[in-house]
Structure 1
Amino acid sequence: MAADEYEIDVKPEIMLMEQVLGPLADGELRVPRFQRPFVWRPEQILNLFDSIERGYPIGSLLFWETSDRLASLDHIGDLPVPEPRPARPVSYVLDGHQRLSTLYATLRRPADAKRSTEQSDWMWWPYRVLGDVEDGPNRYRHWKQAEPPPANYLPLRAVLRTRDFLAYARDLAKRATPDMDVDRLTNEAEVVAQRIRSYKIAVVRLVDGSLSDAVEVFSRVNSTGQAMRPAEMVSALTYQTSGQPTLADRLDAMVEQIADTGFGEISSDAIFRAVLAVTGEDNVQEGRWDVLAKRVRTKLQEAADDTEEALAHAVIFLRDTVGVPLARLIPYDAQLMLLTTFFHHCPSPNARQVDELKRWFWVTSWSGHFAGANTTQIKQSIQEMRRFARDSGTVTPEAVRARPFPSRFDMRSARVRAFIIWELQEFPDRLDGDGNKIRPVDILARGATSAYRHIIIKPGLPAASSPANRLIMPTAPRTSVRSTLLDLPGSAFREHVLTSHGIPDKAMRRLAAGDDERFIEIRQSVLAERERAFMSSFGLSTDSGVGEADIDTS
Structure 2
Amino acid sequence: MEYQPYSIRKLLDSVKNGAIRIPAFQRGFVWDMDRVSYLMDSIYKGYPFGSLLFWRTKNQLAVERNLGRFELPKPEEEYPIDYVLDGQQRLTSIFTVFQNELIPKEDPNWSDVFFDMDAEDNAQDCQFIALDEQSYDRNRFFPLSVLFDSVKYREATEGLSVEKISTIDKLQEKFKEITIPVQVLKTENRSIVAIVFERINRLGLELDTLQLLAAWTWNEDFDLLEKFRELKDDLAEFGFEGVGDDSDLILDCAAAVLKGEPGAEKLLELNGNEVRSEFSRVQNGIKGAIDFLRTQFKISTLKNLPYPMLLVPLSVFFAEPDGKEVSYNSDTYAKIKRWFWRTCFSARYGSQTRRAVIRDIQEIEKLKHGKDNRLDEIDYNLGISFFTENVFRVTTANTKTFVLVLANNTPKSLVSGKNIDLEKVLQRYNRSEFHHIYPKAFLRDNGTPDNQINSLVNFCFLSSAENKLIGKKRPSDYINIVAESPTRSLVLKSAFCEEARFDDDFLSFSTSRAQMLLEFSNDLMK
TM-score (norm 1): 0.55
Over 3 Å counting, the alpha-carbon distance change for 1:277 and 1:493 in structure 2 is closer
2:406–2:460 CA contact under 8 A, matched in 1: no
Structure-2 residue corresponding to 1:552: none
Residue 200 of structure 2 corresponds to residue 221 of structure 1? yes
C-alpha separation in 1, matches of 2:269 and 2:512: 55
One of 408, 421, 444 as aligned partner of 1:439: 421
Matched, 1:258 2:235: yes
Distance 1:414 1:430 in 2: 25
Q: Relative to 1, partners in 2 of residues 1:304 and 1:62: Cα closer, same or farther, differing over 3 Å?
A: farther
Task: Give the Å deviation of 1:385.
Answer: 1.3
Contact 2:286 2:315 in 1 (8 A): yes
| Deviation digits for residues 472-529 of structure 1 (CA, Å, limit 9, x no counterpart) | 322349947534786758567366365554443344330xxxxxxx42x344333322
SS in 2 for 1:265: helix
Which of 284, 287, 295 pairs up with 1:320?
Answer: 295
Residue 277 of structure 1 and its aligned partner are, at CA, apart by 2.1
| Pairing 1:366–2:345 present | yes
* Equivalent in the alignment of 2:460: 471
1:356-390 Cα deviation digits (max 9, x unpaired): 21222122222223331354443332221111111
1:274 aligns with 2:253: yes
Amino acid at match of 1:530: M
Question: What is the RMSD computed on CA atoms of the aligned residues?
Answer: 4.9
Residue in structure 2 matching 1:534, options 512, 520, 524: 520
Q: Distance in 2 between matches of 1:417 and 1:478?
A: 21
Q: Paired residues, what number?
A: 379
Q: In structure 2, what is the equivalent of residue 449 of structure 1?
A: 431
CA contact (8 A) 2:318 2:326 kept: yes
Q: In structure 1, how many angstroms separate the alpha carbons of the residues matched to 2:108 and 2:423?
A: 42
Q: Which residue in the other structure is 2:404 paired with?
A: 421
Cα distance change of structure 1 residues 481 and 350 upon mapping to structure 2, 3 Å threshold = same
One-letter identity of the residue aligned with 2:483: F
User: What pairs up with 1:340-419 in 2 under 5 angstroms?
Assistant: 340-344=315-319, 347-373=326-352, 375-398=354-377, 400-404=379-383, 405-406=386-387, 407=389, 408-419=391-402
Query: Take 2:473 and 2:23, find their aligned partners in 1: how far apart are those partners?
Result: 54
Q: C-alpha separation between the residues in 2 aligned to 1:445 and 1:217? A: 38
Aligned to 1:26: none
The residue that corresponds to 2:502 in the other structure is 508
Alpha carbons 2:300, 2:426 under 8 Å: kept? no
- CA distance 1:412–1:11, shift in 2 (3 Å): farther
Letter in 2 for 1:456: K
Q: How does 1:39-438 map to 2 (within 5 A)?
A: 71=63, 87=73, 217-221=196-200, 223-228=202-207, 231-232=209-210, 235=213, 238-240=216-218, 242=220, 244-246=222-224, 248-266=225-243, 267-279=246-258, 281-285=259-263, 289=265, 293-295=268-270, 297-344=272-319, 347-373=326-352, 375-398=354-377, 400-404=379-383, 405-406=386-387, 407=389, 408-432=391-415, 438=420
Taking the aligned partners of 1:261 and 1:358, their CA distance within structure 2 comes to 21
- The answer to whether the 8 Å contact 1:34/1:249 transfers is no
Q: Greater CA radius of gyration, 1 or 2?
A: 2
1:63 and 1:94 in contact (8 A); partners too:
yes
2-structure distance, mates of 1:296, 1:480? 62
The question of whether the paired residues in 1 share the 8 Å contact of 2:52 and 2:181 is answered with yes
CA distance in 1, matches of 2:233, 2:474: 40
**1:306 positional shift:** 0.5
8 Å CA contact 2:414–2:482 kept in 1: the answer is no
CA deviation vs aligned residue, 1:276-326 (integer Å, no higher than 9, x gap): 1222x234248xx3x751345432123321111122221222121233333
The whole-number CA distance in structure 2 between the counterparts of 1:260 and 1:428 is 24
Which letter maps to 1:301? R
When residues 480 and 394 of structure 1 are mapped into structure 2, their CA distance, relative to the original with a 3 A threshold, is: farther
Distance 2:350 2:395 in 1: 12
**Contact 2:338 2:376 (C-alpha < 8 Å) held by counterparts:** no
User: Which residue in the other structure is 1:462 paired with?
Assistant: 451
* Post-superposition offset of 1:340: 1.0
Aligned equivalents of 1:524, 1:11: Cα separation in 2: 75
Q: Give the Cα–Cα distance (whole angstroms) in 1 for the partners of residues 235 and 294 of structure 2.
A: 12
How many angstroms apart in 2 are the aligned matches of 1:351 and 1:34? Answer: 49
TM-score, normalised to structure 2, is 0.57
Q: Which runs of 5+ in 1 are unaligned?
A: 13-28, 37-58, 75-80, 98-107, 111-159, 163-202, 511-517, 541-554
Paired residue type of 2:269: K
2:166 maps to none
Cα distance per residue 1:222-247 (max 9 Å; x no partner): 64214316x4376167343546213x
Q: Which runs of 4+ in 1 moved over 4 A?
A: 9-12, 33-36, 59-74, 81-89, 91-97, 203-217, 434-438, 457-460, 484-492, 497-500
Q: Against the structure 1 CA distance between its residues 418 and 437, is the aligned structure 2 distance closer, same or farther, given a 3 Å change threshold?
A: closer
Query: Aligned partners of 1:538 and 1:476: how far apart in 2?
Result: 31
Amino acid at match of 2:2: A
| Secondary structure in 2 matching 1:471 | strand
CA distance in 1, matches of 2:197, 2:373: 42
Work out the CA distance in 2 between the residues paired with 1:477 and 1:493: 12
Equivalent residue letter for 1:335: L
